[in-house]
Amino acid sequence: MKVDSIKNGFVIDHIPAGKGIELYNLLGLGELDCQIATIRNAPSRLMGKKDIIKIDADIELSLEVIGFFDAGITVNTIKNEVLVNKTHMQLPERVENVCKCKNPRCITSTEQELSHIFRLTDRENRVYRCLYCDSKLKSYI
């Protein structure tokens, strides 16, 4: 399989195998009018298998969302077909409007204009809790 090189854009690498489409949807990449390649189950020395997303456009990419999805992902920035930056993701301390609180008694379920905000309460176990009701958020991975 051959996927062309990227002139200006991003390579989202080290996505857990089979999870690339979930990240693609979470980032809203289907709304873009540019070339995007998703590669599933690519061989990886470190992970066995991995997914990769290649975006051939200089877009605004939410590193917060990517880090929330999985802190093991790397984002490579490409300019003029050259790797100019490699960012290793970290769990963000806070995420806003990425997920919705599942607690039916949370104020966010009745106040529609209120942002869904979660804060990181346990980095080791990847636990996020709702800022308003303290409900635990189920993680993506």
Do residues 98 and 76 share a domain?
Answer: no
For the stretch 21-30, pLDDT in tens is: 999 999 999 9
Confidence tier at 138 by pLDDT (50, 70, 90) = confident
Inform me whether the pLDDT recorded for 134 exceeds 90: yes
Task: Count H helices and E strands in the chain, helices first.
Answer: 2, 9
Which of the two residues, 127 and 2, has the higher pLDDT score? 127
Nearest residue to 14 (alpha-carbon basis) of 64, 61, 65, 53: 53
pLDDT the model gives residue 41:
93
CA distance 73 to 42: 14
CA dihedral 20, 75, 30, 94 (to 10 degrees): 90
- Looking at the structure of the chain, the number of domains it has is 2
Do residues 82 and 105 share a domain?
Answer: no
Do residues 83 and 99 share a domain?
Answer: no
pLDDT the model gives residue 3:
65
Q: Give residue 106's domain range.
A: 94-137
For the stretch 110-122, pLDDT in tens is: 888 899 999 999 9
Task: Give the CATH number, domain containing residue 100.
Answer: 2.30.30.20
Inform me whether the pLDDT recorded for 1 exceeds 70: no
pLDDT the model gives residue 105:
94
Do residues 34 and 71 share a domain?
Answer: yes
Confidence tier at 140 by pLDDT (50, 70, 90) = low
- Contact yes or no for 139/128 (Cβ under 8 A): yes
**Whole-prediction pTM value?**
0.85
CA distance 12 to 56: 11
For the stretch 47-65, pLDDT in tens is: 899 999 999 999 999 999 9
